[in-house]
Structure 1
């Protein structure tokens, strides 16, 4: 008999064809295997029992990086194949094969990298079919060397033999190379003058880091800015040059042992640090690095080397290094050599380049354990562009543009949504250009033509404006979808939920259907629409956008709501941060609604608490106050403040009256977070929908999510949180893609 097998999924560039070759040969089967634009095609013929064993072992023993999403099997008459062979790839047909993310250096390659007897000893571009770059080097499908940025490097005879030998783990490893035939590194001064190549360049990088200098290093998906994470002067200089006053820097450690000197990762966090995706993981600090690494926070973003180049650098120094994105704050990460010389020379004393081109920018991913579950905070390198598989099929091919902050976009077809890498905040021309470049790049890679565009409802989002122009130019429909409903759709889709749910969407801000700013929403949702059943009682944001950056303005607005004009006479941290003239003018703005829109945002309530207890009056980055409050949470504090449910409103005023009178200031953050969880419980009990989805940026708060889960599960409600896409705006594109899909 003959079996024809069609596989779709992440099955190219993972050693799948040599695996099939070895398996078929071992079982005495004849036929062939081939890559095509849809995935992998296999034909095997032989005895029926051998074919059954082949089919069973095909799934049970597949390569570790392979993901099979669909498998079509057809039994046919045999045609008398003489051998089993691996055929040349073919590129015609519909592009359905999934592109793999970039995978961290495997243990076998690491052993070779640091073996003085190996021909790839200290070679910064060592890889095999189990590791190395994929997404950042592929130019088109199918995934073969001529379709990657490695096409300019002709393999030497030894590398070519490895590449063609099905028994070798480098069989069809598309970036395969060695010091004789592959890419190399070069070190330049900030003025663009060549200092050294290859091994000498690497030694000079190590010396520069030891001397307290800043080095820009080209990696897999872009550049890092690196310096000694234990050197306060070096870290402070990097902050000054990058114009990033307090936002925490990520720190790359040599290995888990070094992480444990400075931090206390849990077992789950250790597993995440070691995972093939190698994300930045938020872990509790044990002792300080340089104080400027993560000012005022009890957690640091730690990660391990994921490319051979990183491994070489971290083993060349005896300290961890700051490894932050190589860009000016709020601009896209730099990826090209000429761009690096132009843009990073003002940050770095030296720039380490290499001549393997990066096809697409891909920043580091960030993961946090929330409620006992790993949750992506930024989904990018290592994860993108792996798809979300849906429990239903989409009715149309859709381009989903995401939001403005922490942007990702997505393309959706059939039961698959492919979500882009993290793009960032689309607030300026540079990031808008990067967004547009990536949209067209992904569409071209998959030969994708959308039939529908979905964007955020906010009229001032750059992504919304771009979507209007794009849809009009293609003559296709555009849907503008409410922000918080989209958050809940995102959670429903990734968790495979089809039925109606109660969604709790809490974040900093989002444009509401009534023209106000939402952010404390309870919605009964399905894929066709929502009912806003409860929300935080709206309050004014004095100064609009300024209130987002100045928690004291939010707190003052709440005080005006509670005490009227006499709030100006109160003796607390918020009021003391203003002059009397400022208080008079701000009261007028508040009372007359001058540039003071209404908001129901829970994120802004966090800001108000941070101001009232003297933690922050102004923020230097988004979410700073909330992060500090989370750090101050004490699980031993069990009580909470009062609140009231009135019509569809949750009245926050009783909570803040009690909070202002609370003499145990150190317990305020815990009681505040407990109160929010109690609000959730009371609303869920009143509405009575069994399945509850938690989404939005506020749901990145570990104690809050843990407490909500504890309260609701005790009452037999089922709680669903994010695990595959971020609860913040980085997950919006998935929710947009699935709207009205059933």
Structure 2
């Protein structure tokens, strides 16, 4: 034995390194280097102990870093000299247990290409097996009970591997070597197809797929239990089937997503950019919003009424892959839930709530611990906008640095709720839950918080809530703090948004003054008014309000968020211009209400609503943000170059909200084209940001808030900032909407002095 092999080293690797095939990868690399030792999962990631020379262990680590599994993310690593320990071989050891974990939670991964190929090979033992996975793909977070990531710590523990699966699991050259989700049709998860009255049609695995495909082609609606929750599916080329699903789900206009069998199939109907293609084919397999084309063969007007975009995805699991192969056409795939409720994952509850929506149920017996919706993204040029961060993207957040000295729980917002838990040096941003006014959503949110506290064996010492004390997240935070004796701090909504984009772009250490542009629908301001059109500055660890959109009346409380005509009514001097949009009774009520009103708002979200109503696009929303989406759709259809900055030449301290609306309304009523006016409105907003930055001699801008989900606004802003050599920062991995509030609350708590 060479003398230098009498050295022992420990290699510590942290990051997303569990549930990604990391130990099998290290094992095979160790054999290549003829290194003896062990590799195991532990509470901090992966630990390698080995006998080696100093040079060889350095080369070994370099190879690990440069050729790691595709789904692994390494954040830190180190080599430590140890007293000599003799190893006779290299082996994978069982994980250390009963320790508090300090690692990112591994998200679910879409089915990989190798597993897809196996599904179609008649001689392969996983031919048509609907739950085919390997070390590189399959559910992870959805089935986790506790960590480190081992089969015994997941709901796969209910399934005992057969002898052949065990052989694969133990074979170093097999792609399922140490795959914790390994199973096959003999020992694994089983499908069952039933009617909506629970009558069993078949338990034969191949027949289940064949029958589901046949039912879809015939125009039926199927509730399919995927590996992260139920989906409601029907033929996307069958207009009648799509309309039937709308009626049954009581969802008259909100767009549905569509699954295609392959990227090639997508390209027959759309012209995705290279960025959109990569996202569709990524391990996340999210819904990607694509621009419609004239060649689109699906029932677009029924799928996304009055919107020239469609949410498209590829199969995220072997089950969906098999169904898509058999159906041979695109299918609708919308979350299996009732309006406003969380996605369902348990068979009895799904049947109870969806029996009048679905004709048939395709169930399976894998328990889902953390149900999740599909993630949704779209692109503004090359910039990725996350609209919903869920399956494949949640729960961990890799880039953020957690510097808390004690465990912190940030409760997030009221709508598009998430929470952020910091039990150690890692930071965990939960998946999207939804509107906490819904009882089932609130219960799911509460349950998930309890699961995290149990998973990490840690209770928070500090709880962060929104300044709005009546938000369900704030109420729950107060209750939890009282119960466990934690400190509690309220944080203003828009400052949390600003802190989120500062944190994502690591700007807290910047010596420059940064302009924060935070635009959304609603949030309680420091003056107890309704904010939503804010300009802040960040400098020397302090956030200050610089200016805002001019206040206007906030009327009818939450109704103003759902009826764009009310925003228009509030903003116009001559209210009679919109009298035709109300009944006599409504007119009488609102004209009296506005004279007694005490609340005012700077909301840019409601400004979008007012423009949508002024241009006769939407007066009353049938789903959240309908007016804003339709307005963006209208503006995007403008092909000319005669757009206007309505505020060109103006010098103002506050953005004149009322003037913008008055100008648009009068121009439209004189015959102005709505497409041109819609585009000009969005261009005006983008230029307002540029001008505020220049007026205050600030060259770095950070934007957040739900308004920045508008890809047209973002595209214009990116181009104009570049022209003026301004540095523009946007949310990157988190959504600009209220999903980032919990993360922002924590960032604010850690970095802001005032």
Match for residue 499 of structure 2? 489
Match for residue 48 of structure 1? 54
Tell me: CA distance 1:389–1:414, structure 2 relative to 1, closer, same or farther (3 Å): farther
Residues 1:519 and 2:532 aligned together: yes
CA-CA distance at 1:30 after TM superposition: 1.2
1:539 to 552, 562, 566: 552
Match for residue 658 of structure 1? 663
- 5 Å-filtered alignment, 1:689-708, equals 689-708=698-717
Residues 1:251 and 2:258 aligned together: yes
Match for residue 575 of structure 1? 579
Instruction: State the distance in 1 between where 2:124 and 2:705 align.
Output: 50
Is the CA contact 2:401–2:426 (under 8 Å) kept in the aligned structure 1? no
CA-CA distance at 1:688 after TM superposition: 2.2
CA-CA distance at 1:645 after TM superposition: 7.0
Residues 1:610 and 2:607 aligned together: no
Match for residue 201 of structure 1? 208
Scaled by the length of structure 2, the TM-score of the pair is 0.94
Is the CA contact 1:527–1:741 (under 8 Å) kept in the aligned structure 2? no
SS at match of 2:655: strand
Instruction: State the distance in 2 between where 1:543 and 1:288 align.
Output: 43
Is the CA contact 2:643–2:676 (under 8 Å) kept in the aligned structure 1? no
1:670 to 648, 668, 679: 679
Residues 1:86 and 2:92 aligned together: yes
Residues 1:174 and 2:177 aligned together: no
Number of positions where the alignment pairs a residue of Structure 1 with one of Structure 2: 731
Instruction: State the distance in 1 between where 2:537 and 2:90 align.
Output: 56
Residues 197-221 of structure 1 show CA distances to partners (whole Å, capped at 9, x for unaligned) of 1221221111110110000000011
Scaled by the length of structure 1, the TM-score of the pair is 0.96
Is the CA contact 2:104–2:398 (under 8 Å) kept in the aligned structure 1? no
Is the CA contact 2:618–2:630 (under 8 Å) kept in the aligned structure 1? no
Structure 2: segments with no counterpart, 5+ residues: 1-6
1:231 to 238, 253, 258: 238
Residues 1:98 and 2:104 aligned together: yes
Is the CA contact 2:256–2:304 (under 8 Å) kept in the aligned structure 1? yes
1:649 to 654, 662, 666: 654
Is the CA contact 2:495–2:748 (under 8 Å) kept in the aligned structure 1? no
SS at match of 1:150: helix
Is the CA contact 1:394–1:738 (under 8 Å) kept in the aligned structure 2? no
- 5 Å-filtered alignment, 1:439-458, equals 439-458=449-468
Is the CA contact 1:370–1:700 (under 8 Å) kept in the aligned structure 2? no
CA-CA distance at 1:407 after TM superposition: 0.9
Instruction: State the distance in 2 between where 1:647 and 1:640 align.
Output: 14
Residues 145-180 of structure 1 show CA distances to partners (whole Å, capped at 9, x for unaligned) of 111111121111110011112221111211111111
Instruction: State the distance in 2 between where 1:327 and 1:172 align.
Output: 35
SS at match of 1:534: strand
Instruction: State the distance in 1 between where 2:738 and 2:622 align.
Output: 20
Is the deviation greater in 701-710 or in 96-105?
701-710
CA-CA distance at 1:386 after TM superposition: 2.5
RMSD between aligned residues = 1.7
SS at match of 1:368: strand
Match for residue 587 of structure 1? 591
Is the CA contact 1:9–1:98 (under 8 Å) kept in the aligned structure 2? yes
Match for residue 3 of structure 2? none
CA-CA distance at 1:368 after TM superposition: 1.0
Tell me: CA distance 1:415–1:96, structure 2 relative to 1, closer, same or farther (3 Å): closer
Is the CA contact 1:637–1:670 (under 8 Å) kept in the aligned structure 2? no
1:436 to 422, 446, 451: 446
Match for residue 521 of structure 2? 508
SS at match of 1:59: helix
Is the CA contact 1:99–1:135 (under 8 Å) kept in the aligned structure 2? yes
2:331 to 321, 338, 344: 321
Residues 323-374 of structure 1 show CA distances to partners (whole Å, capped at 9, x for unaligned) of 0000001111110112122222121000000011111111100001125211
Residues 701-738 of structure 1 show CA distances to partners (whole Å, capped at 9, x for unaligned) of 11212222322333322110011100000111110112
1:29 to 20, 30, 35: 35
SS at match of 2:80: strand
SS at match of 1:387: coil
SS at match of 1:347: coil
Tell me: CA distance 1:175–1:161, structure 2 relative to 1, closer, same or farther (3 Å): same
Structure 1: segments with no counterpart, 5+ residues: none
1:71 to 70, 77, 83: 77
Is the CA contact 1:215–1:350 (under 8 Å) kept in the aligned structure 2? yes
Instruction: State the distance in 1 between where 2:549 and 2:48 align.
Output: 57
Match for residue 3 of structure 1? 9
Instruction: State the distance in 1 between where 2:69 and 2:32 align.
Output: 16
1:187 to 193, 205, 212: 193
Is the CA contact 1:401–1:733 (under 8 Å) kept in the aligned structure 2? yes
Residues 1:405 and 2:405 aligned together: no
Is the CA contact 1:216–1:224 (under 8 Å) kept in the aligned structure 2? yes
Is the CA contact 1:643–1:651 (under 8 Å) kept in the aligned structure 2? no
Residues 495-528 of structure 1 show CA distances to partners (whole Å, capped at 9, x for unaligned) of 1111352110001111111111110000113595
CA-CA distance at 1:93 after TM superposition: 2.4
Residues 1:350 and 2:392 aligned together: no
CA-CA distance at 1:541 after TM superposition: 2.8
Residues 1:306 and 2:322 aligned together: no
SS at match of 2:333: strand
